Amino acid sequence: MIIRPATESDIPQITTIYARSVREEIVSFELEPPDETEMLHRMQGLLANDYPYLVAEKDGEIAGYVYASVHRPRPAYAKTVESTVYVDPSFWRQGIARALLVALIEKCQQQQFRQMIAIAACDPDADLSEIPSVQLHLALGFVESGRLKAVGYKHDKWLDIVLMQRAVQIS
């Protein structure tokens, strides 16, 4: 597996991974999958603002991707980023998400970001120990910072989000 910076030529596979997630999972609160043009526009916006955007390539396929983005638009938040990671289900449970998130943390350290925020959607009665995304983030030094109840409605149910935070730079 190779982890490398994402390029525009990765957009078709990135779009496919994300579209399946939007349609079938609760991890994204988007209701309709964006097309390749929109996904490219989003990638270009992140890269133009010097946010890291990486892919994991395995056997010539994009197995997953990760990026950091603006957490909040106000200037005082400039050194805080939000992390996002998606993996194609055919590559689940192979350490791809972990490798991507480790690489993103390293990039954020190099770029002198201070804090990373992760947001995980979950069912209101979910046991956090059974949510792979939450467990991944906790294993990599994120701590649970809070839970917002019933803030998103998708697949005919109200969903919570779990907020997690990790220091990137300590000063």
Residues 6+ apart with CB under 8 A from 129: 135
Residue 133 main-chain phi, psi, to 5 deg: -65, -45
- 171 has a pLDDT exceeding 70: no
Task: Convert the pLDDT of each residue in 58-116 to its tens digit.
Answer: 999 999 999 999 999 999 999 999 999 999 999 999 999 999 999 999 999 999 999 99
Give the CATH H-level superfamily of domain 2-119.
Answer: Gcn5-related N-acetyltransferase (GNAT) (3.40.630.30)
What is the percent of the chain where pLDDT is above 90?
A: 93
CA distance 70 to 1: 28
Half-sphere exposure of 53 (CA within 13 A, CB side): 20
Nearest 5°: phi and psi at 155? 50, 45
55 CB burial (10 A radius; 0-12, 13-18, 19+): buried
Phi, psi (5° rounding) for residue 126?
A: -70, 140
Rounded to two decimals, the pTM is 0.94
Q: Where are the domains of the chain?
A: 2-119
| Vertex 82: Cα angle to 121 and 53 (nearest 5) | 110
